[in-house]
Chain A
Amino acid sequence: MKPGLRTLAPYLGLAAAYLLFSLLAPAAFHGAYNLKTILTQSVIVGIGALGMTFVIISGGIDLSVGSLIACATVLLARALNLGHEPLPGWLPWAALAAATGCGAIGGVLNGFITARFRLAAFIVTLGTMQIYRGGAKWLAAEQTVTAPATWLNGLMEVDAGPRWLWIAPGVWLLLALTAAVAVVLRYTVFGRHVYALGSNEAAARLCGVPVALRRIQIYALGGAFAGIAGAMQFANLTLGDPTAAEGMELDIVAAVVIGGGSLRGGEGRAAGSLIGALLMAVLRNGCNMAGIPNYLQNIVVGAIIIGAVGLDRLGARGSRA
């Protein structure tokens, strides 16, 4: 990882956006409650982006994560409906595991098709995006699935249930997962293989990296993170929604790219992806606060995505010179 402006770019972008809206939006923008709101709103895209970081570093892409998130919300709601009142204590945990597992299985399928048949990940996941979306609608019998109230509903409360938590449990989870992904990428053999795959697949193969297996594992991880993001989406909506997260895959890819990930593979950082997700949450929140109309919001968010990546490239050129 090359130091310098390149690594700093997402942080600078986030700081710039925060400063800009400090001028445009009312004073409440700085408030602790609003800070907590922004953090909570970046959880779903953030967790999805952590999984996507593995995929993008390895030179792939996963367009099916939005649909996997929807699948996970529905499956979680369905699982909770299996119990009878009073719900057994293990049921929410089992439902959480089911959501994560459902994402992982979807990811395994993505990885298997991509690796086994040597197909472009873009096309494979474009297809599975539709398949998983259909699966979510089928699982949900084409309507939203309500679920009995459990502690899961509290995971995304802006004002966390126990005061000492200060922020939503979902935010803590996001931070913990970011740290875990950073460690895995930097200090494990698996992490080094992910970078090797994305930098030069042929060389990696010659060096004895089990390419196909790693690909499947990488997509499975990406899917599992989408499953966890789906559980957070469920907590946010308190219901299973087969139309949830439509188009969110692009927000997730954008978060990784803003954070320094390269779609050519070989580059990307966990912390960067987290910052990318935060930046987009700050933009939406700031635009709402400042009362900027929707069409301008879309334009501003788009312009900042380009700006962030442009800054990144500028930094790349600078460090080479």
Chain B
Amino acid sequence: MLMTKALTKAVAATILFLGAAGAAVAGEAVAPGGTAAKTRPVVAVIPKGTTHEFWKTVHAGAMKAGSEEGADIIWQGPAKEDDRKGQIEVVQNFTSRGLDAIVLAPLDETALARPVEAAVKRGIPVVIIDSDLKSKAFSSFVATDNFAAGTLAAQHMAEALAAKGGPASGRAAEPVGNVLVMRYLEGSASNSNRENGFLEGLKKFAPKAVVVSSNQYAGVTAESALKTAQNLLNKYPDIAGIFTPNGPTAFGMLRALQIAGRSKQVKLIGFDATEPLLAAMKTGEVAGLVVQDPFRMGYLGVKTALAAKRGEKVEARLDTGARFIWAAEVDLPDVQALVHPDLKKWLGN
């Protein structure tokens, strides 16, 4: 049992070193929460996580709405991304604090329903953004129509496959070939709608294309997506087109294709305009991207929440729209305005 003791010491050390570097920084943790002027409304915006660029853009949009409305925005995600319990606790804590409104991007369509209902019961209007929630309590749902956005991707996948198979087939381009869909995460409503929209759309726009795999989940991180993508690519040597439903899955797939030396042979259509994907558009390694408007999502989310707080009638469903961008279009000014909104202006760094 000597081994046990040495090992338990190692565990102790691991636990104890969780945040050793931080004691000095912790001193600066004084937030002005308690001193906010009573007259300014306070809106909490709760993303699914805080490290993805998508959410930073949502944050910027929320800040813009806040400055227009004279409201304070509190930006707070779950301590661990992909942690349903953590996000529930953030919602509970803000409910308990008694804010003017909550804007929430739920990590799970079922698990967040009760905390949201508890908030509404305590007189805090809730606006849901990005992903739907199985509840009738909230004021409005402000998001991309993900199913339609997935169908949009399928329509362009058909075009890409047609262009690819064109000369060989002799006649005007029929979309054929093996297509792969790598899904994101079990229980994520927004992503499964995109995936299903794509699969439905493909049946319509490219009935001869074959979906070889559409039941593998990549997981939340680019790292886990890369592993899944490599395994899928090894299994299917002959792939013409790939659809991935968001930034991390697209990036994981892109890296897997690069490592396997197949990035120029496969038409990869991704979702969301993250920097690595935009860069890969310029080298032709990503064929196209469906781009949402997260800035507008944050902006309209806060605007709608404040309107609901004032007792105004708000739309139950607001579509923030999606647009397809081919690799060749990436430098167009209107595309740049969409994919590079002025974050510095709103987030200050």
Which chain A residues have a beta carbon within 8 Å of chain B's beta carbons?
23-29, 31, 33-34, 37, 40-41, 44, 59-61, 118, 120-123, 140, 142-144, 146, 153, 157-159, 201, 233, 236-239, 241-247, 250, 253-254, 257, 263-265, 284-285, 287-294, 296-303, 305-306, 309
Contacts and interface: CB of A to CB of B under 8 A. Distances in A.
A237 B111 contact: yes
A239 B189 CA distance: 15
Contact of A290 (B4, B28, B33): B33
A42 B16 CA distance: 21
- Identify the interface centre among B33, B74, B97: most chain A CB within 10 Å of its CB: B97
Contact of B110 (A238, A285, A302): A238
Contacts of B110: 144, 146, 237-239
Contacts of A123: 7
Contacts of A242: 186
Given A237-B110, A243-B186, A301 B19 contact: yes
Interface string B91-110: 01111111000000000101
B4 A299 contact: no
Interface stretch (B75-83, B205-213, B278-286): B75-83
Interface residues of B, number: 61
A176 B74 CA distance: 37
A218 to B, nearest CB: 14
A71 B301 CA distance: 36
Given A302-B20, A305-B18, 12 more contacts: A31-B98, A122-B8, A159-B121, A239-B111, A254-B15, A263-B11, A284-B79, A291-B33, A296-B22, A296-B28, A300-B26, A301-B18
Contacts of B337: none
A286 to B, nearest CB: 9
B106 to A, nearest CB: 12
A21 B20 CA distance: 21
A121 B6 CA distance: 12
Given A144-B186, A284-B79, A305-B19, A292 B29 contact: yes
Interface of B: 1, 3-5, 7-12, 15-23, 25-26, 28-34, 36, 50, 74-77, 79-80, 82-85, 88-90, 92-98, 108, 110-111, 113-114, 118, 121-122, 186-187, 217
Contacts of A290: 29-31, 33-34
5 contacts: A153-B114, A238-B114, A253-B11, A290-B29, A294-B50
A112 B29 CA distance: 47
Nearest to B186: A143
Given A250-B15, A298-B79, A306 B217 contact: no
Given A34-B96, A264-B5, A291-B33, A237 B85 contact: yes
A247 B83 CA distance: 10
Given A25-B33, A26-B97, A243-B186, A238 B5 contact: no
A300 B1 contact: no
Contacts of B10: 122
A158 B118 contact: yes
Contacts of A257: 12, 15
Contacts of B89: 41, 284-285, 288
The B interface is mostly helix, strand or loop, or mixed, namely: helix
A233 B32 CA distance: 33
B9 A143 contact: no
- Identify the interface centre among B28, B88, B111: most chain A CB within 10 Å of its CB: B111
A299 B87 CA distance: 19
A59 B74 CA distance: 44
Contact of B29 (A146, A300, A302): A300
A122 B11 contact: yes
A41 B88 CA distance: 9
Contact of B108 (A237, A284, A301): A237
A41 B108 contact: no
- Identify the interface centre among B36, B84, B217: most chain A CB within 10 Å of its CB: B84
A287 B30 CA distance: 10
Nearest to A306: B16
B26 A263 contact: no
Contact of A288 (B18, B23, B93): B93
A67 B15 CA distance: 19
Contact of A24 (B30, B94, B122): B30
Contacts of B92: 37, 40-41, 158
Given A31-B96, A120-B4, A294 B77 contact: yes
Contacts of B93: 34, 37, 284-285, 288-289
Contacts of A263: 8-9, 11-12
- Identify the interface centre among A24, A257, A287, A288: most chain B CB within 10 Å of its CB: A288
A298 B34 contact: no
A74 B117 CA distance: 24
A242 B121 CA distance: 30
A47 B83 CA distance: 19
Contacts of A122: 4, 7-8, 10-11
Contacts of A238: 110-111, 113-114
Given A40-B92, A238-B114, A299 B98 contact: no
Given A120-B4, A157-B118, A243-B186, A300 B19 contact: yes
A120 B6 CA distance: 10
